[in-house]
């Protein structure tokens, strides 16, 4: 089945690497999310939100483009959503990286800073599915100083370990989000994006 997705540019994300991954998978996409240049998503296509940089910067960019309320409305309305890196973190209420800055507040919880090891965590780390999810385990590529801590473990799709276990991905209803970079994780990561596409198509 042919599927087209909306690839959001407003979060200052790694649009190039994600678009190249989608090209390799044969997925059509429309750049979207900037009200002055590009159209907003209308909910007819799954949304991909890659985010790179700081939590506060990404939230401010979404707000400046008038996209915060619209994104929340679409996700809460059931539009399939894939968040990557900070595109996952902004789903939560807040982050220690940006005190006083509110996230989208769609998944209850907060984003915390690593307190041990080399920060940021850069490199390959193993992810393991939890909560009876049948997604594959394997090694994926991380670049992060912060990680999400959901209030409920029931939303956790993957856990990983960096001086202690942490939430590496979430899945709840129409939302899937990865803290790592699947688009930079070779066959394993591309397979995860394909799995998401299969689920939402």
pLDDT at 1 exceeding the cut of 60: no
Which tokens is 149 given? 């801590």
State the pLDDT at residue 37.
Answer: 67
Instruction: Give the dihedral sign, CA 9/79/160/56.
Output: positive
pLDDT band (50, 70, 90) for residue 59: very high
The percent helix, strand, coil of the chain (3-state, each to 5) is 25, 35, 40
State the pLDDT at residue 34.
Answer: 66
Average pLDDT over residues 34-41: 71
State the pLDDT at residue 43.
Answer: 87
Whichever domain contains 72, its CATH number is 3.40.50.880
Average pLDDT over residues 11-18: 80
State the pLDDT at residue 89.
Answer: 97
Longest Cα separation, the chain? 45
pLDDT at 45 exceeding the cut of 60: yes
What's the DSSP call for residue 155? G
Show the domain range for 131: 4-200
| Active site amino acids | 85, 181, 183
State the pLDDT at residue 91.
Answer: 97
* Count of domains forming the chain: 1
pLDDT digits (tens, 9 = 90+) for 168-200: 999 999 999 999 999 999 999 999 999 999 999
Sole residue written with tokens 């800055």? 101
* Cα–chain center distance at 107: 12
């Amino acid at each position: 089945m042919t599927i087209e997705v909306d690839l959001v540019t407003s979060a200052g994300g790694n649009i190039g690497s994600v678009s190249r991954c989608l090209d390799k998978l044969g997925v059509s996409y429309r750049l979207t999310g900037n009200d002055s240049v590009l159209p907003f998503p209308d909910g007819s296509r799954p949304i991909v939100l890659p985010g790179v940089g700081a939590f506060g910067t990404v939230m401010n960019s979404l707000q400046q483009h008038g996209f915060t309320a619209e994104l929340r409305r679409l996700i809460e309305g059931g539009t399939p959503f894939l968040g990557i890196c900070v595109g996952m973190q902004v789903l939560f209420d807040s982050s220690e990286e940006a005190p006083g800055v509110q996230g989208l507040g769609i998944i209850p919880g907060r984003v915390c800073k690593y307190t041990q090891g080399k920060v940021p965590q850069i490199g390959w780390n193993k992810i393991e599915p939890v909560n009876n999810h049948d997604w594959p385990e394997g090694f994926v590529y991380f670049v992060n100083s912060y990680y999400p801590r959901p209030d409920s473990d029931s939303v956790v799709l993957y856990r990983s370990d960096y001086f202690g276990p942490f939430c590496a991905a979430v899945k709840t209803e129409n939302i899937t989000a990865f803290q790592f970079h699947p688009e930079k994780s070779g066959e394993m990561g591309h397979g995860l994006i394909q799995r998401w596409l299969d689920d939402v198509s």
